């Protein structure tokens, strides 16, 4: 039997490893990245939308910087324990210091422009610690410690009060975010105030299609808001690699934005971003209408666009309720009242539901009325198009005021009925009563005399010495012509008939 | 193929799956029940995913969990406006009509996000996400400002807590959010501060709770104020607890809002 020796084992070498979080090469034989402390032996957790969960630094994991080390301990509010070598320094915000031994040298760091920040109300004193010795830093919110190693030439911009520590070779600067808006003071209900509108179900029903809500109310105080903070901290590595420690509240997620890719982020959730990532104010006015909510203040967002990395935290600073936004820094604006697709309208807005359900083609109707009115020397006034109610006003220099209104009654009632589902079973009875009341209110005026000659059921009613109303019903829609003029009833009827004929011809 | 019944929502899942497709609860974890009879709400695995309608929900994070929702065409969810963490730019936002909500002292506006597109919601306190799939014809009452999101198939209203004593001293405010399903199922997401526990009360069975710990209950559970013969200060009125009477489920949170007893 030959004694074939086993093949000799290959000499052990450190496997190459690129940390998916700090993107630096390291040694895969350890359990955590020596640059940022991220665990080596776990797979990346990336949500389907592309947000990558920054893994919490393992309890007792060590990060090397220079000849010094940082050990992160704890799970809920982690502490960064620094063992500084002789002559090596870090700086940190004074309110982060948890403990220090007697050997460490502590002092304050002079900062240009600190007065500006002080004026902004920030209790900023930047402290410096020089080894040898040990100290520990921590935030006072449940969350994660995030290590951001900086290679020479790299800059990151950080939300104020997220900074925990940086090594001495990382330069620190701050600048105004220039993201702001001025708004009246808000209150309950997002800063809306309802005008007195009277009581009763009839009034309640009228609100559905013609709500008058004003913003701000009597709270006229104006406040400037800085959704990303008044200042942003900027940290840069210039000649040599440095280490930056941040504290994120809750869990922290990062994502790479491609060139031009955008995301809207809760203003209070932003933690840090590459300096290459653009950030601006984005206002979205939600689709609104109907019950008690005819007006809503715009919601401020941070709109961010690539290229570069962005980090957000799941626990955010609550945004303050505001009233009407008066002016802003440069901002993009989306008003979903203008852009709401029809199939979504019935979900949150009775007015939207009515608009979606309406079968009235107002463009053709309005064009026919305008053409007739213009040919007779009338001037078109302001239109009022409210969901399933469309109104057009005309005036003549001779003192004739005409108001033409079409109500898609069936659509309006259906829209109100849809509230049953939104309000819950407890409100079903109320919703039914409102529907019934609306049906009677939106129908043809009662008590009028039948009017022949228009080809559809119609009535005529004198409502005053100089006013009258003609009502016609066609295809489930009620068309009324209100006339106000100092002339004989016969002449008023003549004008009303003429407008009614012009409108009915175009009404489907 | 054997089916696995989820111990949290009772849905049936194909064998071999590790988390429930309806509520995301781990199927391979033992149910943890304390000696006192409280069951820990399932701790959802990071990145656990489940579906509702044509949409999916993925839960991320373990300190302040985030619900990331991929909304299908025609699907919608609603939530208090400030919990929206991020959104695709193209996802439209609508204000839900909630008459009287501001009158109830609730400053938040309930908004609706509609698919297709992605949004993410989270609260701003350390805790757990509680996923409550709702079968048709269910009613659940939730502590105000504890609901994270609900699918549009669930009706939303809010109810005044019955009993003047409860309003004045019970410490849970005047209103609770009420979620009701009618013909179809729905998905309700809550956020509990700290850890969340649940128990099932038998008919007539009572349990006293710190009012600030109350998180949710079946509508069949009665909630009233119970005064203890304890003075917590010279001028104080005494100590009040919430008395819950079955039948039905109740849920509590361990990091509660302490309302005090002498204010």
* Residue A261 domain-assigned (yes or no): no
Model confidence band, residue A332 (pLDDT cutoffs 50, 70, 90): confident
Last residue of some domain: A174, A202, A234? A174
pLDDT digits (tens, 9 = 90+) for A364-423: 888 889 999 989 899 888 777 666 678 889 998 888 999 998 887 666 656 555 544 444
Return the number of CB contacts < 8 Å for A and B.
Answer: 196
For B95, name the nearest residue in chain A, comparing CA atoms only.
Answer: A288
Is there a contact between A45 and B47 if contact means CB atoms under 8 Å apart?
yes
pLDDT for the residue numbered B260: 45
- Taking only residues 253 to 282 of chain A, the set having a beta carbon closer than 8 angstroms to any beta carbon of chain B reads 253, 262-266, 268-269, 282
Contacts of B66 in chain A (CB under 8 A): 251, 253, 314
- Taking only residues 384 to 403 of chain A, the set having a beta carbon closer than 8 angstroms to any beta carbon of chain B reads none
Q: How many domains does chain A have?
A: 3
Residue of B92, B190, B238 lying closest to A339 (CA atoms) = B92
Same domain, A188 and A111: no
ipTM at complex level: 0.73
For B108, name the nearest residue in chain A, comparing CA atoms only.
Answer: A189
- Taking only residues 419 to 458 of chain A, the set having a beta carbon closer than 8 angstroms to any beta carbon of chain B reads 419, 421-427
Dihedral, CA of residue A248, residue A254, residue A258 and residue A261, to nearest 10: -70
CB of A107 closer than 8 Å to CB of A160: no
Compare CB distances from A284 to B74, B93, B97 and report the shortest one's residue: B93
Determine contact: A227 vs chain B, CB below 8 A: no
Same domain, A84 and A30: yes
Compare CB distances from A426 to B111, B152, B157 and report the shortest one's residue: B157
Q: For chain B, 263 residues long, give each residue's pLDDT as a single digit of tens.
A: 688 999 999 999 998 888 999 999 999 888 888 888 899 999 888 889 999 989 999 998 888 999 999 999 989 999 988 899 999 988 998 888 765 555 444 456 788 999 899 999 999 888 899 999 999 999 999 988 889 999 999 999 887 765 545 544 545 455 788 999 988 899 999 999 888 999 999 999 998 888 888 899 999 999 888 877 766 665 556 677 788 999 999 999 888 765 444 33
Is there a contact between A263 and B89 if contact means CB atoms under 8 Å apart?
yes
Is there a contact between A76 and B63 if contact means CB atoms under 8 Å apart?
yes
Res A292 pLDDT > 50:
no
Same domain, A170 and A185: no
CB of A288 closer than 8 Å to CB of A349: yes
pLDDT for the residue numbered B133: 94
* Residue A246 domain-assigned (yes or no): no
pLDDT for the residue numbered A212: 31
Is there a contact between A264 and B114 if contact means CB atoms under 8 Å apart?
no
Same domain, A323 and A402: no
Q: Which residues have C-beta within 8 Å of that of residue A57, sequence separation ≥ 6?
A: A32, A36, A37, A38, A39, A63, A72, A78, A144, A145, A147
Handedness of CA A174, A175, A178, A183 (dihedral sign): positive
Compare CB distances from B64 to A266, A314, A419 and report the shortest one's residue: A314
Is there a contact between A315 and B123 if contact means CB atoms under 8 Å apart?
yes
Res A86 pLDDT > 90:
yes
Q: What is the C-alpha to C-alpha distance for residues A268 and A302, in angstroms, rounded to an integer?
A: 9
For B107, name the nearest residue in chain A, comparing CA atoms only.
Answer: A188
For the record, the structure tokens of A203 come out as 């009034």
User: Which of A250, A292, A304, A339 is most worth mutating to test chain B (most B CB atoms within 10 A of its CB)?
Assistant: A250
What's the fold here for domain B3-253? Double-stranded beta-helix (3.60.160)
Same domain, A326 and A399: no
User: Which of B90, B93, B111, B128 is most worth mutating to test chain A (most A CB atoms within 10 A of its CB)?
Assistant: B93
* Residue A262 domain-assigned (yes or no): no
| Chain B: closest CA distance from residue A192 (Å) | 9
**Whether the model pTM is above 0.80:** no
Same domain, A313 and A449: no
pLDDT for the residue numbered A391: 85
For the record, the structure tokens of A249 come out as 């509240």
Is there a contact between B74 and A343 if contact means CB atoms under 8 Å apart?
yes
Last residue of some domain: A174, A203, A234? A174
Domain assignment of residue A151, given as a range: 16-174
pLDDT digits (tens, 9 = 90+) for A21-73: 777 777 766 777 877 877 776 666 677 777 777 666 776 788 888 899 998 88
CB of A372 closer than 8 Å to CB of A506: no
What average pLDDT does this structure show over A466-476?
86
Q: What is the C-alpha to C-alpha distance for residues A387 and A364, in angstroms, rounded to an integer?
A: 16
* Residue A8 domain-assigned (yes or no): no
Q: Which residue has the higher pLDDT, A136 or B168?
A: A136
* Residue A6 domain-assigned (yes or no): no
Same domain, A399 and A477: yes
Determine contact: A192 vs chain B, CB below 8 A: yes
For A382, other C-beta atoms within 10 Å of its C-beta total 7
pLDDT for the residue numbered A109: 74
Is there a contact between A263 and B64 if contact means CB atoms under 8 Å apart?
no
Query: A14-18, A229-233, B150-154: which range is least confident on average?
Result: A14-18
What average pLDDT does this structure show over A218-245?
84
Q: What is the mean pLDDT of chain A?
A: 75
| Chain B: closest CA distance from residue A44 (Å) | 11
Same domain, A144 and A281: no
Residue of A442, A461, A443, A441 lying closest to A451 (CA atoms) = A461
Same domain, A393 and A318: no
* Residue A357 domain-assigned (yes or no): yes
Same domain, A160 and A192: no
Same domain, A499 and A424: yes
How do the domains of chain B map onto residue ranges?
3-253
Same domain, A302 and A425: no
Last residue of some domain: A316, A335, A354? A335
Q: Which residue has the higher pLDDT, A152 or B259?
A: A152
């Amino acid at each position: 039997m030959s004694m074939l020796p086993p093949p000799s084992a290959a000499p052990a070498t450190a496997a190459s490893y690129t940390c998916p979080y700090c993107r630096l090469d390291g040694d895969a034989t350890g359990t955590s990245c020596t640059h940022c402390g991220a665990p080596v032996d776990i797979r990346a957790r990336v949500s389907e939308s592309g947000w990558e969960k920054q893994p919490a630094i393992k309890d007792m994991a060590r990060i090397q910087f220079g000849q010094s080390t940082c050990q992160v301990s704890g799970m809920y509010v982690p502490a960064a324990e620094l063992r500084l070598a002789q002559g090596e320094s870090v700086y940190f915000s004074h309110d982060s210091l948890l403990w220090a031994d007697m050997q460490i040298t502590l002092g304050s760091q002079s900062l240009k422009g600190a007065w500006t920040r002080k004026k902004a109300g920030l209790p900023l004193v930047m402290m410096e610690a020089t080894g040898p010795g040990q100290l520990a830093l921590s935030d006072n919110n449940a969350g994660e410690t995030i290590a951001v190693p900086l290679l020479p030439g790299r800059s990151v911009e950080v939300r104020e009060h997220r900074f925990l520590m940086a090594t001495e070779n990382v330069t620190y600067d701050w600048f105004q975010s220039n993201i702001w808006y001025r708004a009246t003071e808000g209150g309950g209900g997002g800063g809306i105030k309802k005008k007195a509108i009277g009581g009763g179900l009839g009034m309640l029903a009228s609100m559905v299609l013609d709500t008058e809500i004003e913003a701000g109310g009597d709270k006229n105080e104006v406040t400037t808001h800085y959704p990303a903070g008044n200042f942003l901290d900027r940290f840069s590595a210039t000649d040599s690699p440095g280490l930056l420690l941040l504290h994120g509240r809750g869990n922290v997620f990062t994502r790479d934005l491609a060139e031009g890719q955008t995301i809207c982020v809760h203003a209070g959730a932003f933690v840090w971003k590459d300096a290459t990532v653009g950030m601006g104010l984005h206002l979205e006015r939600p689709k609104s209408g109907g019950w008690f909510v005819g007006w809503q203040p715009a919601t401020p967002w941070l709109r961010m666009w690539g290229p570069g990395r962005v980090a957000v935290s799941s626990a955010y600073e609550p945004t303050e309720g505001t009233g009407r936004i008066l002016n802003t820094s440069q901002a993009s604006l989306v008003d979903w009242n203008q852009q709401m697709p029809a199939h979504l309208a019935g979900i949150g807005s009775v007015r939207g539901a009515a608009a979606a359900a309406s079968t009235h083609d107002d463009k053709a109707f309005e064009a026919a009325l305008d053409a007739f009115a213009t040919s007779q020397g009338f001037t078109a006034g302001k239109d009022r198009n409210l969901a399933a109610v469309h109104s057009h006003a005309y005036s003549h220099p001779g003192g004739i005021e005409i108001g033409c209104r079409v109500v898609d009654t069936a659509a309006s009632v259906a829209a109100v009925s849809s509230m049953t589902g939104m309000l819950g079973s407890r409100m079903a009875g109320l919703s039914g009563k409102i529907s019934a009341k609306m049906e009677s209110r939106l129908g043809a005026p009662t008590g009028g005399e039948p009017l022949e000659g228009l080809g559809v059921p119609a009535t005529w009613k004198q409502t005053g010495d100089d006013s009258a109303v003609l009502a016609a019903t066609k295809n489930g829609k009620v068309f009324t012509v209100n006339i106000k003029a100092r002339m004989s009833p016969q002449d008023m009827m003549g004008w009303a008939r003429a407008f009614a004929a012009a409108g009915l011809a175009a009404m489907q | 193929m054997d089916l696995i019944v989820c111990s949290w929502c009772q849905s049936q899942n194909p064998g071999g799956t590790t988390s429930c497709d309806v509520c995301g609860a781990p199927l391979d974890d033992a149910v943890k029940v304390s000696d006192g009879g409280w069951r820990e709400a399932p701790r959802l695995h990071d990145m656990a995913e489940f579906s509702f309608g044509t949409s999916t929900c993925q839960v991320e994070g373990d300190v302040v969990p985030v619900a990331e929702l991929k909304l299908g065409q025609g699907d919608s969810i609603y939530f208090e406006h400030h919990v929206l963490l991020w959104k695709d730019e193209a996802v439209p936002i609508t204000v839900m009509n909630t008459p009287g909500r501001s009158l109830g002292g609730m400053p938040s506006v309930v908004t609706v996000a509609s698919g297709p597109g992605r949004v993410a919601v989270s609260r701003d306190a350390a805790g757990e996400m509680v996923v409550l799939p709702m079968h048709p014809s269910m009613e659940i009452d939730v502590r105000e400002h504890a609901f994270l999101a609900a699918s549009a198939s669930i009706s939303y209203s809010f109810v005044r807590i019955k009993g003047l004593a409860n309003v004045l001293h019970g410490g849970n405010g005047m209103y609770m959010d009420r979620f009701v399903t009618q013909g179809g199922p729905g998905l309700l997401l809550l956020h509990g501060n700290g850890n969340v526990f649940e128990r099932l009360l038998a008919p007539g069975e009572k349990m006293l709770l710190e009012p600030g710990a109350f998180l949710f209950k079946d509508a069949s559970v009665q909630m009233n104020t119970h005064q203890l013969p304890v003075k917590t200060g010279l001028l104080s009125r005494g100590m009040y607890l919430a008395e819950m009477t079955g039948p039905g489920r109740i849920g509590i949170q361990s990091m509660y809002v302490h309302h005090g007893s002498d204010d």
